[in-house]
Amino acid sequence: MRLSNCHNFHDFRELARRRLPGPIFNYIDGGADDEVTYRRNTASFERCDLVPDVLRGVANVDLSVTVMGQKLAVPFYCSPTALQRLFHHQGERAVAAAASQYGTLFGVSSLGTVSLEELRQAYATPQMYQFYFHKDRGLNRAMMQRARDAGVEVMMLTVDSITGGNRERDLRTGFAIPFRLTFGGMLQFALKPMWGLNYVTHERFSLPQLDQHVHMDGGTMSIGRYFTEMLDPAMNWDDVAEMVREWSGQFCLKGVMSVGDAKRAAEIGCAGIVLSNHGGRQLDGSRCAFDQLAEVVDAVGERVDVMMDGGCQRGTHVLKALSLGAKAVGLGRFYLFPLAAAGQAGVERALGLMRAEIERGMKLMGRASISQLSRDNLRFR
């Protein structure tokens, strides 16, 4: 199977499965507990039908949107995800390059493997920095200042991960950073020697955003201990309001799901919110972002930019979310599997297919611009 054989999400996933050691593939592919929410994220789109109009003159279609003050050429963006150089040695560099090619926003995680400064200097496309709230308030301020100095346009605080989800696939393989593999997990690495060769022949794996606090040698702090010891479960709305004031720019909360929380985000001055259940990796059984989208947009859509992520695998999924009022849709596994499969070339192919699907869908629906999408062209079963 080659990259040229990949025409959709499932093809990229299969190619990544063939090329990655099992523990790493399952880290990307897995969810929390019984993975109910993970499966429902995509299924939620299937309960909604598109109602197209015809004879509308759609020779030219404008896919651009403006989100949190950033003009994007397409209505989707690359959500921040952790540990990308573990999946492919190019890591965030590949994702940033592909996002730049398609004129869209990309996110850099505080658990990213390439520095936000390097990426900001290399690519002009809008960049957001995702971070977690730490018990050490000085560390929180230092991370924001570092992003400000680097020229990052959007600050994104993840609020649904004050503790790690119960990801049982990882427990079975022993996946952890640093590696603590079970015998079965080690055997799966032995079956994929090319991954290991790439891993040892490229630059040392690191977390440059947290290199003073998390070490990959098993020393002062592992990823697991980072979540259990450094993040602050006592975080509250007053803490976030203070951060919004201190950043004094485009500030976004990722992981908001309820109408009440959306209203609080608007009240404290957030420019945007992302409806998200973390790809089904945190609270299993939680609501799907697409199912929650309409009522949140109705409540706060005039005051903040509402986005969503989770389960999006097709251009029609993006169109359905935009029709409900989302300003843009975040992609996660949709680009991670292509990254793992083929690096930058994989991500570029995946984003290109998504753009083509959205443009084709717009024409078939009789819409010449994103602003023409509305709930009038949707019906729920």
Q: Which of 88, 134, 278, 317 is catalytic?
A: 278
Phi/psi at 89 (nearest 5 deg)? -60, -20
Q: 79-88 burial, b if ≥16 CB within 10 A, otherwise e?
A: bbbebbbbbb
User: Between the CA of residue 72 and those of 5, 147, 153, 181, 338, what are the distances in Å?
Assistant: 29, 21, 13, 41, 22
* 215 is a catalytic site residue: no
- Cβ neighbours of 360 (radius 10 Å): 13
DSSP 141-205: HHHHHHHHHHT-SEEEEE-S-SS----HHHHHHT--SS----HHHHHHHHT-HHHHHHHHHSSPP
Say if CB 125 and CB 106 are below 8 A apart. Answer: yes
Say if CB 329 and CB 321 are below 8 A apart. Answer: yes
**CA pair distance 306, 131, nearest whole angstrom:** 19
Say if CB 7 and CB 314 are below 8 A apart. Answer: no
**CA pair distance 378, 337, nearest whole angstrom:** 30
For the chain, how big is the Rg over CA atoms in Å? 20
User: Which residues are known to be catalytic?
Assistant: 278
